[in-house]
């Protein structure tokens, strides 16, 4: 059987309000992650590693830095007809923005008509995971479905926070797609678990086009992929689920638990960074057989200086990017992005510092996220007294993570 012609579509138009202030000046998929990456790099890497080399990224809100990152980083071979390209809201159907994820694709049907693919893979742009989508589309082709939805098993007691997939007795055919149900259904043979939708879909092109046209004509629809398109195909007995935990990625231990995190809130974003700092991280960035690809800035190696009494430059259980200078400061369970500079006797604990952050002498940063180019003055404390943080106008999450937006200078 010939390899199917595949078009990848990455949905990157969300505002990401729950990640504010990190999204005050950028689209959610452009938010930095793990020092070197942007959130969108994970979805794009999974597709490109699986040889999906024609990818359209649908953008909308505050998309400049996202467009710039894609254009400068994700340059594939034009000679071979490959591309990763940002596609802004084109208003081809009139002067209106996208009203939902399904409407975003419907307004961009020219992309599908131009490529004439056999399959359309639709991925979200803001989840942290490693996945080989080839196994998902192979199951899709074998099962003859109109859509295959990636599902991850989660404990039933936690599933009411997700879109939940109710399967038939075979554990594969989707009988219902439930939005945050109070009493989530268990899986066949696994009553304490249920499938949560990952927001990743494989469509047969004809099924997708038919569903999009039907949905566009429905004035009562929210024009959402998970809320409208998948339930429509489910009602037609044309939807099946793919179990993400069965996915085998080159370089990953066979049969191990597969990592996937929706980093849509400040606390989930922060927790995912802390996962990276574990001695044996829950998510392994160091898998060279399935790399997470991005642009690496041209900066010198990281540098640690001073070893004099209590003035010791050190970092423990931390990720330290290139261009970082730890000058007589102490770092613990933290992620330092390129160009971070920590001065003598500063203390950084359980924090995420983005590009160009400067932390002054004897300053303390604890349980905090500092966006790009934040400057913390000498002796300033961030994250130590949450009431004081709020009084200074900083955001504090439900779990007590202090967040400071881009370019803020905090002086004593």
Angle between helices 40-49 and 64-73 in degrees, nearest 10: 30
- Residue 78 reports pLDDT greater than 90: no
Count other C-beta atoms under 10 Å from residue 266's C-beta: 22
If asked whether residues 249 and 318 sit together in one domain, one would say no
Among 232, 259, 277, give the residue marking a domain's end. Answer: 277
If asked whether residues 272 and 344 sit together in one domain, one would say no
Place of tokens 């180019």: 373
Q: What angle do CA 277, 307, 338 make, to 5 degrees?
A: 40
- Residue-averaged pLDDT of the chain: 95
If asked whether residues 222 and 315 sit together in one domain, one would say no
pLDDT, mean of residues 25-43: 97
If asked whether residues 130 and 228 sit together in one domain, one would say yes
The verdict on residue 1 lying in a domain is: no
Pairing between strand 147-155 and 239-243? parallel
The verdict on residue 326 lying in a domain is: yes
Task: Read off the pLDDT band of 13 (50, 70, 90).
Answer: confident
- Residue 99 reports pLDDT greater than 90: no
Binding residues: 98, 163, 179-180, 197
Q: Residue 382 in contact with residue 404, Cβ under 8 Å? A: yes
Task: Read off the pLDDT band of 301 (50, 70, 90).
Answer: very high
What pLDDT score was predicted for residue 256?
81
- Residue 1 reports pLDDT greater than 60: no
Q: What is the 3-class SS of the chain, one letter each residue?
A: CCCCCEEEEEEECCCCHHHCCCCCCCCHHHCEECCCEECHHHHHHHHHHCCCCEEEEEECCCCHHHHHHHHHHCCCCHHHCCEEEEECCCCCCCCCCCCCHHHHHHCCHHHHHHHCCCEEEEEECCEEECCCHHHHHHHHHHHCCCEEEEEEEEEHHHHHHCEEEEECCCCCEEEEEEECCCCCCCECCECCEEEEEEEEEEEEHHHHHHHHHHHHCCCCCCCCHHHHHHHHHHHCCCEEEEEHHHCCCCCCCCCCCCCEEECCCHHHHHHHHHHHHCCCCCCCCCCCCCCCCCCCCCCCCCEEECEECCEECEEECCEECCCCEEECCEEECCEECCCCEECCCCEEEEEEECCCCEECCCCEEEEEEECCCCEECCCCEECCCHHHHHHCCCEECCCCCEEECCCCEECC
- Residue 370 reports pLDDT greater than 80: yes
If asked whether residues 273 and 309 sit together in one domain, one would say no
pLDDT, mean of residues 210-239: 95
The verdict on residue 297 lying in a domain is: no
- Residue 93 reports pLDDT greater than 80: no
If asked whether residues 312 and 208 sit together in one domain, one would say no
Task: Read off the pLDDT band of 160 (50, 70, 90).
Answer: confident
The verdict on residue 292 lying in a domain is: no
Binding residues for alpha-D-glucose 1-phosphate: 98, 163, 179-180, 197
Q: Residue 107 in contact with residue 92, Cβ under 8 Å? A: yes
Task: Read off the pLDDT band of 412 (50, 70, 90).
Answer: confident
What pLDDT score was predicted for residue 410?
97
Place of tokens 């439930």: 178
* Domain housing 366: 303-410
Pairing between strand 335-336 and 319-320? parallel
Number of domains in the chain: 2
What pLDDT score was predicted for residue 198?
95
Q: Is the Cα dihedral 409, 360, 395, 404 positive or negative? A: positive
If asked whether residues 216 and 363 sit together in one domain, one would say no
What pLDDT score was predicted for residue 359?
98
Task: Determine the Cα–Cα distance for residues 387 and 291; give it in Å rounded to an integer.
Answer: 41
Task: Read off the pLDDT band of 150 (50, 70, 90).
Answer: very high
The verdict on residue 284 lying in a domain is: no
Q: How many residues does the chain have?
A: 412
Give the rounded percent of residues in the chain with a pLDDT score beyond 70. Answer: 100
Residues 6+ apart with CB under 8 A from 113: none
pLDDT in tens, 328-365: 999 999 999 999 999 999 999 999 999 999 999 999 99
Task: Determine the Cα–Cα distance for residues 186 and 191; give it in Å rounded to an integer.
Answer: 4
The CATH number of whichever domain residue 46 belongs to comes to 3.90.550.10
Q: What angle do CA 375, 377, 378 make, to 5 degrees?
A: 145
- Residue 120 reports pLDDT greater than 60: yes
The verdict on residue 293 lying in a domain is: no
Task: Read off the pLDDT band of 217 (50, 70, 90).
Answer: very high
């Amino acid at each position: 059987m010939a390899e199917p012609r595949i078009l990848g579509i990455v949905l990157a138009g969300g505002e990401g309000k729950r990640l504010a202030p990190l999204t005050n000046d950028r689209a959610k998929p452009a938010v930095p992650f793990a020092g070197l990456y942007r959130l969108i790099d994970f979805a794009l890497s999974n597709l490109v590693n699986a040889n999906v080399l024609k990818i359209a990224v649908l953008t909308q809100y505050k998309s400049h830095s996202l467009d710039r990152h894609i254009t400068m980083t994700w340059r594939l071979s034009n000679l071979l007809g490959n591309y990763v390209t940002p596609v802004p809201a084109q208003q081809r159907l009139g002067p209106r923005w996208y009203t939902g994820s399904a409407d975003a694709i419907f307004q961009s049907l020219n992309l599908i008509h131009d490529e004439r693919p056999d399959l359309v893979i639709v991925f979200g742009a803001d989840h942290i995971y490693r996945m080989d989508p080839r196994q998902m589309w192979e199951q899709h082709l074998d099962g003859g479905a109109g859509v295959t939805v990636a599902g991850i098993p989660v404990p039933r007691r936690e599933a009411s926070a997700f879109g939940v997939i109710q399967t038939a007795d075979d554990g594969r055919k989707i009988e219902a797609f439930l939005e945050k149900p109070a009493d989530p259904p268990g899986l066949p043979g696994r009553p304490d678990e249920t499938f949560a939708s990952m927001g990743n879909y494989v469509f047969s092109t004809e099924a997708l086009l038919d569903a999009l046209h039907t949905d566009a004509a429905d004035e009562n629809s929210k024009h959402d992929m998970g809320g409208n398109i998948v339930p429509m195909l489910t009602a037609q007995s044309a939807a099946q689920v793919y179990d993400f935990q069965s996915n085998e990625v080159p370089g990953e231990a066979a049969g191990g638990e597969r990592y996937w995190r929706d980093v849509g809130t400040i606390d989930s974003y922060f927790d995912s960074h802390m996962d990276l700092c574990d001695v044996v991280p829950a998510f392994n960035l160091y898998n060279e057989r399935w790399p997470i690809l991005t642009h690496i800035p041209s900066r010198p190696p990281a540098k640690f200086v001073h070893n004099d009494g209590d003035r010791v430059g050190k970092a423990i259980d931390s990720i330290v990017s290139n261009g970082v200078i730890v000058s007589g400061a102490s770092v613990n369970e933290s992620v330092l992005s390129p160009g971070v500079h920590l001065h003598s006797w500063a203390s950084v604990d359980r924090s995420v510092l983005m590009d160009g952050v400067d932390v002054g002498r004897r300053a303390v940063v604890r349980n905090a996220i500092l966006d790009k180019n934040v400057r913390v003055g000498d002796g300033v404390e961030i994250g130590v007294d949450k009431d004081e943080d709020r009084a200074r106008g900083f955001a504090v999450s439900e779990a007590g993570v202090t967040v400071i937006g881009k370019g803020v200078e905090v002086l004593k």
